[in-house]
Chain A
Amino acid sequence: MKKNIYIFNDGQIRRKDNTVYFETEEGKKFLPIEDINDIFVFGELELNKRFLELTSQKEITIHFFNYYGYYIGSYYPREHLNSGYMTLKQSEHYLDIEKRLAIARAFVRGSGKNIQNVLRYYINRGKDLEDISTQIENLIGKTDNCCDSSELMGIEGNMRDYYYKGFDTIIDNEDFVFNNRSRKPPRNELNALISFGNSLLYTLILSEIYKTHLDPRIGYLHTTNFRRFTLNLDIAEIFKPIIIDRLIFTLIGKKMITKNDFERDMGGILLKERGKKVFIQEFDNRLKTTIRHRKLGREVSYRRLIRLELYKLEKHLIGEEEYKPYISRW
C-alpha cells in the first residue's frame, strides 16, 4: 500500500532521477515516488516547478500546513479523471432541492449514527451518557422533516453541541476540558486537538476525492460556492466520530499527549511539534487499520473505507443504488 509522507523538518525537496529527493541539515533521503499517496507538509519546505511536474504526473496531492498547524491549502494536480457525465450528475443532484436534501440528510444521519456508536461504547463502560445519546437520537429523527440544507446544517450543529457536552464525561481529565467549541484560534487544548484532527481528515478526504470522478467543489450539506472544496467537508461528517474523535480519546486516555504538548500563542492554544507528530503517527496508524467489509468480503483499511464511501455516492448519482452512509459497528 502506498504511504502518506509527513514532512516536519525544514529542507529542500526536489526531483532527482525521476524520484523524490529530500535534503535537510541532518541528511539526505530518496523517497520512491511510486510509493507515495500524498504529502503533508508541516515544516519549511523549498520546492520548484520540476518537482510539482513530477508529483502532478504521478497524481500526488500535496497539503500544506503553517507553523501553527493550520491548513493553508493543497497543491491539487490537474484533474486526471474527467467524466463530464459525472460532473453533470453531481450538479443535477445539487440543483434539484429534493435530490440535494436526500444526500445531505444521509450525511447528517450517518454522522449522528456514528456519534451514537461512540457514545454507546462509553455507556457500556459505565459512563453516564444516556441523556446525550437520547438527544442525538431525537435529532436524527428530526432530519426527516427538514426542508432545506441550512436546517440540516443546524441539526448537525446541534448534534455536535450535545456530543461535545459528553466529551468531559468520556475524557474525564481536568487538563482537557471542553468548555465550548472554539476554532480560530482554539481556546483550549481539547479544541486544538479537534481542529488539528479535523483538518487532517478534510485534506485526506480531498486526496481520495481526487482519485474518483467527483468534483470536490460540489458538496450537498455544506453549501457549494464553487470557490472552495466542500464535498470533503460533507464526507468528513461521517468519519469524524470514528476516526478523529476516537483518536483524541485514545491519545488523551493513554497519556500519549499531555498538557505539556501545547503552547499559548496569539491568544490561542497550539499543539507543539512533538504533539503534532504523535497525533499524526496515530492518525496514520488508524488509517491503516483494517476492518472486515461484508459486501467486499475482505479486509479494508479506514482509508479505503473513505474511498468506498465516494464510490457509493457515485452510484447514487448515477441512479443505481441509494446512498447509505457507512455506520461503524462500535
Chain B
Amino acid sequence: MKEKKITGTLIWYYFICKREVWLIARNLEPDQDDTNITIGRFIQENSYDRDKKEVSLGNIKIDIMRRGDGQLVVGEVKKSSKFQESARMQLLFYLSELKSAGLEAKGVLMFPREKRREEVELTPDTEKQLEQTIKDILRIMYMEVPPKVEKIPFCKNCGYREMCYS
C-alpha cells in the first residue's frame, strides 16, 4: 500500500472534527449540494483574481502565491476566521513543507469576507506542535472504522451532517 500522505485539508479538519479527517482521507467528500460548500467554492473561485491560484507542490495545494518585498508569500483563503487555529496549523504545514524543499516563505491567512489577514510564522514551538498533530492524524487515518459521530456545534453547518446522522 502506498504510504498515506498528509494534506493541508486534513490538518484543517483535525482541529474541527476527527471523523472528518478519516472520511476525507478516504476521498469520501462531503455533500457537494450543501450550501456552505457551494459558497466556499464560489469564494475560492472568485476571490483574488489577480494572483496565481492553486499551486500544487507535491501533496500540498496552495491557494495563493505571490512575491512581496523580495520574499515568497503563501496565502490561504478562508470563508471566515471562525476556525483560526485550524487555518493557522494548515498554513504552518505548508510553510514547513516548503521549508523542507528549501524554500523560505512567509504565510498569510486571508479572510476576504472579513477583509482581514493574519501573518503566520514557523518557530521551534509551532514546528513541534505541527509534528504532534501530524502523528495523531496518521493514527486516525489508519483506523479501520471512522471515529464515532460526536455532536458538536460544527455539525449544524457540516456537509457530512446527513451522512453522519442518516
Contact = CB atoms under 8 A, between A and B. Distances in A.
Interface stretch (A76-84, A105-113, A169-177, A234-242): A76-84
Contacts of B33: 2, 211
B129 to A, nearest CB: 29
B144 interface: yes
Interface stretch (B47-55, B107-115, B158-166): B158-166
A82 B27 contact: yes
B162 A86 contact: no
A315 B164 CA distance: 9
A161 B31 CA distance: 38
Interface residues of B, number: 16
Contacts of B165: 295-297
B32 A81 contact: yes
Contacts of B31: 211, 307
Interface string A288-320: 000000011100000010011101101100111
Contacts of A83: 26-29
Interface in B5-60: 26-29, 31-33, 38
Given A82-B27, A84-B27, A211-B33, A318 B162 contact: no
Given A296-B162, A296-B165, A85 B28 contact: yes
A314 B29 CA distance: 12
B27 to A, nearest CB: 4
Given A318-B145, A319-B145, A312 B28 contact: no
B6 to A, nearest CB: 17
Contacts of A2: 33
Most chain-A CB neighbours within 10 Å: which of B31, B38, B163? B163
Given A295-B165, A312-B166, A315-B163, A81 B144 contact: no
Nearest to B160: A311
A213 interface: yes
B28 A307 contact: no
6 contacts: A2-B33, A81-B27, A84-B27, A211-B32, A296-B165, A315-B163
Interface of B: 26-29, 31-33, 38, 144-146, 161-163, 165-166
